[in-house]
Chains A and B, each alone.
Chain A
Amino acid sequence: MTAREQEYRELFMAEALEYYESMSRHLSELERTPDDVPALNELFRLMHNLKSNARAMGHTAIGEVAHSLETVFGLIRDRERAFAGPLVAVVFTGLDELGAMIRAVGADQPLPDAAALLDNLARVARGDEPVLPAPAPADAEAPAEEDARKLELSDLVYIQVRKLDKLLNLVGELVIDRDRILTLAEEIGHPALQATARHLFRISDDLQYSVMDVRLVGVGVLLNKFPRVVRDVATAEGKEVELSLGGQDVQIDRNVLQIMTDALLHLVRNGVSHGLEAPAEREAAGKPRVGQLRLLALTERDDVLIEVADDGPGIDTEAVRRKAVERGLATAELAATLDEQAVWAFLFEPGFSTAAQVTDISGRGVGLDVVKRALDSLGGQLRIASVLGQGTSFTLVLPTSIAVKGALLVELDGRPYAVPLLHTDTVLALRPDEFSVVGGLLLAHVQGQAVPVVPLRELLHAEGTEALPAADKTLLQGPQQVLVVNYNHRRLGLLVDQFLRQQNIVVKALSKPLDAIDLFGGVTLLGSGQVCLVLDVPALTRLFVARRA
């Protein structure tokens, strides 16, 4: 069953049970006041809906009974039949049987046979006498009566996200204690304790994924809001735009989607106002008048990608490069050495562009730093692809869930640190002679690219606004462990003492006064009970850029 079929089935069941309950109530009202017109109208309407929905779901037997009951209600409403005599008994039996049929659908059981009921409903519709069963002895009838009058509650519950957040936090705590118990059990070496700890591990793992699963929503809940946005911006700007959506069924944590809402709104608006040319301009360039904008969600390993792509003019890399220098985001010398990707990344820097340049192609950066901030808060990444004259695509790489993060554990000065995998590029062991020093910067050559390298210790101990000490190759003794991290297309090598392992971590917010230090994204507890700080790669990169010698 597809996700959509499952959704239809759940909606059908929830609504059918709701209709059944309302109809039972209205039928009792009708019994007290046989000419209660509003009650009759409601009975007719609800039965009509149940009929339509049952037929759409392929439950023809329910549809048939509902249709016959609807006909009888119609006749009563039109005063061709009275709600009196044997008709009342047939209608009540009919509604009870309908309830049993709905319950059978919900329980995946065969539906009870309704031939006798349909025959009686046809009889009362024609005005004939129904065939009613002879009254059974009172004691024999009781259990059947009880069974038919069960109270039904809907199978769906609505939950506030706040409650799910609390549940997720509790699971996070549980997972940390579980790892601790597992480690202790191994240390103590008691077989029964070890077995129990392993069982606890499996159960809490299952619990964690179940809680994460409950929080997932289809990306469509957000994407489906964009046709309106695109239409409004296009109308205001005199653009002709065709929007295509894809991947609405891709599942993502509700809060991740919530955090990205504004960012996506900016990207889409930007795509229409700056990513697509005016119709006349497009025709002059030999393109169709109507610009194409695509919003596509897909999954890649554990991540969810949301792509915003246009078939507009593409990014004018040289214009962005010039502007980055004008805005003081890079020196002319540095800007000249940057590749396309690194230049494009300037679009998402705060202060790259101002409203005065909105009409300029290179002015696409208006407000795009919002995108970067939202991505940073989730540990997400941005991919940019652009071909001059053909179009641009921005891809948001998002974690499916915020609960657990993959991380690489490294050691420095006897302490463990966790680095989120989303930001780690590669790990290297290099000899001192494999480094070079240029302008006070230590450089390593990674896949043909010169990557600046800095001892992690120097970044963590940087004080005030002092520049980092100039690199000195002679201080490097023996093989060096380099962790290459990646942020906003900028790579940076961090020297650490050793690599420990890769593992999933549950990140907790820092308590005071550590939260004043913005180099850490949070803290996690390792199975050994050791506290491990989680490095904030964007903050480290910014610190390095600001303080390099």
Chain B
Amino acid sequence: MNKRILIVDDSFYMRTMLKNMLTDAGYEVVGEAANGQQALEMAASTAPDLITLDVILPDNTGLDVLRGLRQQSPNAKVVMCSAVGQEVIVNEAIENGALAYIVKPFSEERVLEIVGSALRGDAA
């Protein structure tokens, strides 16, 4: 069974690139959310196995969305995406239950490695 992934990022370019990488690797991208509210709605309706979550979303909601997701969809694994310079938020995210983080700009190998190990349950 293909693992199902929800992508949350406010950049269409970034979502497209992530989607292509994940789809090419055989994952099923079940949705793409561009803001926090969409992310929570899509997570509820699609019940993904894993969510990639951009730390900086419109209305400054990255961490709030993470907390909402942990409550609403506790089975979904969350991997944070962030560019360098956001280490403080990333650490807070890990404390709030995110499993791993991917640093932008990301390489295809790195994305697949982190997503793969998060899904298997290893530490990244």
Contact = CB atoms under 8 A, between A and B. Distances in A.
Interface residues of B, number: 28
A15 interface: yes
A7 to B, nearest CB: 7
A51 B60 CA distance: 17
The B interface, classified by DSSP as helix, strand, loop or mixed, is: mixed
A227 B48 CA distance: 13
A357 interface: no
A8 B1 contact: no
The A interface, classified by DSSP as helix, strand, loop or mixed, is: helix
B80 to A, nearest CB: 13
Contacts of B105: 52, 55-56
A71 B83 CA distance: 12
Contacts, number: 73
A49 B86 CA distance: 12
B11 interface: yes
Nearest to A51: B83
Interface in A33-58: 41-42, 44-45, 48-49, 51-53, 55-56
Nearest to A38: B59
Contact of A41 (B4, B23, B60): B60
Interface in A390-441: none
- Which residue, B10, B11, B85, has most C-beta atoms of chain A within 10 A? B11
B1 A234 contact: yes
A224 B23 CA distance: 8
Contact of A227 (B2, B59, B83, B86): B2
B57 A56 contact: no
Given A224-B23, A231-B28, A11 B85 contact: no
Interface in A218-247: 224, 227-228, 230-231, 234, 240-245
Given A52-B83, A56-B104, A243 B14 contact: no
B14 A52 contact: yes
A499 interface: no
A67 interface: yes
Given A4-B20, A67-B85, A231-B28, A53 B14 contact: yes
A8 B17 CA distance: 8
B1 A44 contact: no
Interface string B30-46: 10000000000000000
A311 interface: no
Contacts of B1: 231, 234, 240-242
A71 B85 contact: yes
Interface of A: 4, 7-8, 11-12, 15, 41-42, 44-45, 48-49, 51-53, 55-56, 67, 70-71, 74, 224, 227-228, 230-231, 234, 240-245, 248
11 contacts: A7-B16, A8-B17, A11-B13, A15-B11, A15-B13, A44-B56, A52-B14, A228-B30, A231-B28, A241-B1, A244-B26
